[in-house]
Amino acid sequence: MEKKLDLRLKFLQARYPNAEIEVWSMDEHRLGLHPILRRVWVPEGEQPIASVIQRYKWMWLYGFVHPESGETKAWILM
């Protein structure tokens, strides 16, 4: 990956000589609440019937870091 990154940086610097190019790293994670499993008591031999309302509430967390300076940024989506 480092070889490809170096080649890409050199290409961009040659193509845009007046531009300031920075390298940032990014990672993402999805956080969410899942439905809870419940137990239902039924007489032996009968099919259990349990009503379940599946409601998911997701949150996405994106983190960015600038390796040279150590600057970090976060982006949270709900």
Instruction: Give the per-residue pLDDT at 69.
Output: 92
The predicted pLDDT at position 34 comes to 66
Residue 65 burial (CB count, 10 A): 14
Closest CA to 27 of 68, 75, 59, 71: 75
pTM of the model: 0.54
Partners of residue 77 on adjacent β-strands: 60
Q: Mind listing the pLDDT tens digit for each residue in 51-73? A: 777 777 788 999 999 988 999 99
pLDDT tens across 3-55, in order?
788 899 999 999 999 999 998 999 998 887 666 667 778 889 988 887 777 77
pLDDT for 13: 93
